[in-house]
């Protein structure tokens, strides 16, 4: 697995977390409080800057009332969309 | 989420990783080499002692030719089995 793939799964996670949070009308502060993490941590997750651990993924999924596998499924869809957008760009 | 839930998802991950590895006839050394991690790291993952990051989960899933969401789905099934076993124990 190359660095691009690494990067895209973290960006995909960030997009999925932001989408679920906004969909539920949670602020970053509110989500942070629900999961017991700092607001700046949630911000960095949403920017795809964090290599989040399984326990923190479970906490975040739990705050959205999702299973971790469902959250990861959404992450994979986000990654697919990112890949499609990239391949559509003019050469 | 309490400490027991934390523990069980890591134990579930360990069980799922061991099951997929053995099913494919990989040694811990072979898997470690495929994912670019140390054999002792794989051992500690299988014992449920590691809070594995998303990038390492992706590497492990990739070695099994699984998506991360499918691997996590198996982890959740393992957790369910652990919970059932626990509740079946005599009081």
| Mean pLDDT, rounded, for B74-91 | 85
Asked if A66 reaches chain B (Cβ–Cβ under 8 Å), the answer is no
Interatomic CA distance for residues A35 and B27, integer angstroms: 37
Establish if B87 belongs to a structural domain: no
**What average pLDDT does chain B have?**
91
Interatomic CA distance for residues B10 and B5, integer angstroms: 9
Compare all CA atoms of chain A with the CA of B63 and give the residue at the minimum distance. Answer: A1
Q: Are B11 and B48 in contact (CB under 8 A)?
A: yes
> Range of B57's domain?
3-80
Predicted structure pTM score = 0.89
pLDDT at B2: 42
**Phi, psi at A44, each rounded to 5°:** -70, -30
Interatomic CA distance for residues A56 and B30, integer angstroms: 29
pLDDT at B85: 82
Establish if B67 belongs to a structural domain: yes
Establish if A51 belongs to a structural domain: yes
Tens digit of each residue's pLDDT (9 = 90 or more) over A35-62: 999 999 999 999 999 999 999 999 999 9
Asked if A3 reaches chain B (Cβ–Cβ under 8 Å), the answer is no
ipTM: 0.89
Tens digit of each residue's pLDDT (9 = 90 or more) over A51-91: 999 999 999 999 999 999 999 999 999 999 988 887 877 75
SS3 track for chain A: CCHHHHHHHHHHHHHHHHHHHHHCCCCHHHHHHHHCCCHHHHHHHHCCCCCCEHHHHHHHHHHCCCCHHHHHHHHHHHHHHHHHHHHHCCC
Residue A14 sits in a domain whose CATH number is 1.10.260.40
Measure A91 CA to nearest chain B CA, in Å.
29
Measure B33 CA to nearest chain A CA, in Å.
13
Which residues of chain A are within 8 Å of residue B62 when distances are taken between CB atoms? 1
Establish if B89 belongs to a structural domain: no
Among A1, A70, A76, select the one facing B67 at the smallest CB separation.
A76
Measure B91 CA to nearest chain A CA, in Å.
29
Establish if A25 belongs to a structural domain: yes
Measure A89 CA to nearest chain B CA, in Å.
26
Contact B69 A58 (CB under 8 A): no
Interatomic CA distance for residues A3 and A91, integer angstroms: 21
Burial of A88 (0-12, 13-18, 19+ CB in 10 A): exposed
- Residues with Cβ within 8 Å of A57's Cβ and at least 6 positions away in sequence, in order, are A68, A71, A72, B54
How many domains are there within chain B? Answer: 1
Contact B55 A59 (CB under 8 A): no
pLDDT at B91: 59
Establish if A48 belongs to a structural domain: yes
Establish if A90 belongs to a structural domain: no
Interatomic CA distance for residues B15 and B32, integer angstroms: 16
| Mean pLDDT, rounded, for B52-77 | 97
Establish if B50 belongs to a structural domain: yes
Measured CA angle at B81 (ends B80, B83), to 5 deg? 65
Contact B55 A6 (CB under 8 A): yes
pLDDT at A91: 59
């Amino acid at each position: 697995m190359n660095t691009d793939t690494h990067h895209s799964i973290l960006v995909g996670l960030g997009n999925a977390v932001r989408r679920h949070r906004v969909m539920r009308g949670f602020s970053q502060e509110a989500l942070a409080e629900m999961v017991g993490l700092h607001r700046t941590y949630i911000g960095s997750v949403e920017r795809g800057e964090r290599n989040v651990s399984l326990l923190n993924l479970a906490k975040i999924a739990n705050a959205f009332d999702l299973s971790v596998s469902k959250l990861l499924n959404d992450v994979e869809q986000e990654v697919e969309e990112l890949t499609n957008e990239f391949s559509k760009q003019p050469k």
